Amino acid sequence: MLTVGGMERNRFIPHFFSTYGEVVSAEKEVYRVVFKNLEPSFLGFHNPVENFILDPNINCRLLGARFELLSVEKYPLKGEVILEIRSVFPLGIGRKIARIFIKDDRFRVHSKNYLEELKKEGLVDFNSNQLMQGSKGLVLYLDHPQENLRIPPINISLSDLPEAQLEKILIPDPSGSVLKFHPIKHETLFLVSDFCLRPQSAHVPLLYHTNSREFEIYRESAFRQKISLFSNRGLYQNLKSAETIKEIFSYTPTEENRSALFLTSLQQITEPLSSKWISVPSSKVELPPVIRNPRHHELLERFIQDQPETPILEALLENQITSEGVLFVTYLPSFFLRGQFFQKSVRKKLKRIYFMNPSKKTPGYFSHADRSFLLDLNAHGIEVFWFDRTTQKLLQFCERVLDYTGIFLPPNRIDEYHKALTIGIYGSSFVSKDIEADIRKILLGLEELKTKIDHPLLNPSRPLAVSTGGGPGVMGIANKVAYDLKILSLAHLCNFAFEPMNPHLDGKMTYRIERMIERQAEFLIKLPIFFIGGYGTDLELSLEVVGRQVGSYELTPILLFGEVDYWVEKITSRFTLNHKSGTLRSGEYLSNCLIQVSSGEQALEVYKQFFIHKLHLGSSGRVYPRGFRIFEEIYDDV
């Protein structure tokens, strides 16, 4: 587990090269060279001495310098390595002579197929140079040099010149000691002989005539291999399995911490360092309660810096990560990180987010800011997945674009959701009379009816979905029937302490209790059905009626399931008083939208009349003094 702060921040990206080392002392041909400011992820801190190779700077290399490594001293806490070397080539005190490259066998390239993949992606071109199979991996042999060159007398050090300029000052000479080869490209590979050619696009290798032409091939860390998520090297195929996601999350640190992990390839699971989670205590920094607090900006910056995702986002922003990948987090990232998430260089490489829990504060339930953040992530092309440990299901966030709302669904049912006619079933979480048969009758009847109807809402191309509040009682029965019938079973859950979630769900969205009204609007129901219920059901019924009055909902039937007397006592007195007081503003016509039914058969008959355009609703129909009409009155319009 990696912590956040100080030098630990970029520890998850393996570093093969050190900084350039400076000569600090000399005794005859023995020199001490200090390498400073090394990242904790420098592989030299985690590899034996025999994996060290000194890579001379271009000046030393082209003048034929050779260094023999005598001893290594490692100081990871200081970020330093000290080497003792022997060199016949004279080295001045204070001179920066070489970098250390670490030949970590875990990154050695063994497969020609791997190189073929890189070639297809335009990342490798060895220009007909010979590839051979060595004892430990592939070896590239640079064939005949293009020409011999020599270094002319100049007034500046070669090390002050970029390689591209250095090539221009070299003079052709058949007996010259510098060998110029044909251009090669290896954007994500290290080529290592007695020195190292770092990953780069098309360039001309320059070797001293005594340098070895046989190069071992090492791949960059997967973070820096320019991997596309959807390529053969990417994660896309592996991420289709919920079992893979479950396994990755099984390595998370304690849930008391917020933790993050960025992966670009499953190969990284076996890599040193990169498969480590970045972790931070959940309550390390609290935000100020009021934005006018003078310390707000200071505390906000500290809060952002202490998030486990921040080092990853910074590495993406600074192009330390060049591959496309996926962010795994124990909790949905804080919306305060929006500024980093939506930077172009982050969006181009961060393709998905997988999380286990919406919130530490209210486990399982999203805040209003969380849901806005989900919509923004979706708008910026970053897919979000919820591995719901309660159900062991992998759900993907899906937005209903024109409605600016979303829900989590199994990925293979998103298209179905976009096309679906949603039936909303409301009722008490405590009372559940024998209604299962009626609900089943309604759903099966609608499935049959749609094969015979060509209505914008109901036709053969539109599947059905059932949406509830996700609790027990009436809601649990409705979800169970839909689930058993393979009809999309949805829930919009609020964190009521008295109302546990029912288990018969395909998809869901969750809300904190203060967003109860907003939750109702996001049901996106076309055909609401009300059973017996309490204050919550009363509120939901009122919102369905008001939505039709103000024009935000289509005029469709609102079914009132149960005895006439029950609905008279619940609705009539209020309707009569409002009508008498003149406060309905033509809302009295909505009384014809509320239709009492006593059975599944009656419900289906109402829907049939509606879908064949024989049921007049709103101002095109009549007013019913009791505030609703009973089943027998649906034929008044015929």
Can you give 60-86 as a three-state secondary structure string? HHHCCCCCEEEEEEEECCCCEEEEEEE
How far is it, in rounded angstroms, from Cα 372 to Cα 380? 12
DSSP state letter for 438: H
Instruction: Give the pLDDT of residue 187.
Output: 95
In order of 363, 537, 545, 577, the CA distances from 474 in angstroms are 25, 11, 21, 30
Overall pTM surpassing 0.85 (yes/no): yes
Beta bridge partners of 73: 82
Question: Is the pLDDT at 256 greater than 80, yes or no?
Answer: no
Mean pLDDT score, 605-609? 96
633 confidence band (pLDDT: 50, 70, 90): very high
Residue 460 structure tokens = 């053969």
DSSP state letter for 153: P
Q: What does residue 538 show for φ and ψ, rounded to 5 degrees?
A: -60, -45
- Torsion angle (degrees, nearest 10) of CA 426, 428, 434, 436: 40
Beta bridge partners of 361: none
7 confidence band (pLDDT: 50, 70, 90): very low
Q: Using an 8 Å Cβ cutoff, are 430 and 445 in contact? A: no
- Locus of tokens 């949805």: 490
**Amino acid at site 564:** V
**Amino acid at site 502:** N
Instruction: Give the pLDDT of residue 160.
Output: 62
> Between the ranges 7-11, 421-425, 510-514, 587-591, where is the mean pLDDT highest?
421-425
Mean pLDDT score, 248-271? 84
Question: Is the pLDDT at 86 greater than 50, yes or no?
Answer: yes
What percent of the chain is predicted at pLDDT more than 90?
63
In order of 6, 374, 471, 490, the CA distances from 493 in angstroms are 41, 17, 7, 10
- Locus of tokens 């919550």: 536
Q: Where do runs of H (alpha helix) occur along 393-494?
A: 414-419, 436-449, 474-484
- Locus of tokens 């014809």: 592
How far is it, in rounded angstroms, from Cα 404 to Cα 406? 7
Instruction: Give the pLDDT of residue 5.
Output: 46
- Locus of tokens 């989900």: 374
Q: Using an 8 Å Cβ cutoff, are 121 and 231 in contact? A: yes
Supply the mean pLDDT for the chain.
89
Instruction: Give the pLDDT of residue 33.
Output: 97
**Read out DSSP for 277-306?**
PEEEETTSS---SSTTSTTHHHHHHHHHHT
Instruction: Give the pLDDT of residue 596.
Output: 96
How far is it, in rounded angstroms, from Cα 439 to Cα 477? 8
Question: Is the pLDDT at 2 greater than 60, yes or no?
Answer: no
Residue 370 structure tokens = 């969380």
Summarised one tens digit per residue, pLDDT across range 122-138 is 999 999 899 999 888 99
How far is it, in rounded angstroms, from Cα 610 to Cα 558? 11
Mean pLDDT score, 225-234? 92
Strand order in the sheet with 130-133: 130-133, 138-141, 214-219, 189-192, 196-197
Q: Which residue has the higher pLDDT, 459 or 156?
A: 459
Query: In the Cβ-directed half-sphere of 348, how many Cα atoms lie within 13 Å?
Result: 13
Question: Is the pLDDT at 263 greater than 90, yes or no?
Answer: yes
DSSP state letter for 264: S
583 confidence band (pLDDT: 50, 70, 90): confident
How far is it, in rounded angstroms, from Cα 359 to Cα 373? 13
Summarised one tens digit per residue, pLDDT across range 439-457 is 999 999 999 999 999 999 9
Q: Using an 8 Å Cβ cutoff, are 151 and 158 in contact? A: yes
Q: Which residue has the higher pLDDT, 251 or 163?
A: 251
Going through 569-637 in order, the beta strands assigned E by DSSP cover: 594-597, 629-630
159 confidence band (pLDDT: 50, 70, 90): low
How far is it, in rounded angstroms, from Cα 558 to Cα 591? 10
**Read out DSSP for 303-324?**
HHHTSTTHHHHHHHHTTS--S-
251 confidence band (pLDDT: 50, 70, 90): confident
How many Cβ atoms are within 10 Å of 368's Cβ, its own excluded?
13
Question: Is the pLDDT at 238 greater than 90, yes or no?
Answer: no
Instruction: Give the pLDDT of residue 168.
Output: 78
Summarised one tens digit per residue, pLDDT across range 197-211 is 999 988 889 899 999
Instruction: Give the pLDDT of residue 6.
Output: 40
Residue in 348, 264, 382 with CA at minimum distance from that of residue 14: 264
Going through 401-438 in order, the beta strands assigned E by DSSP cover: 405-409, 421-426
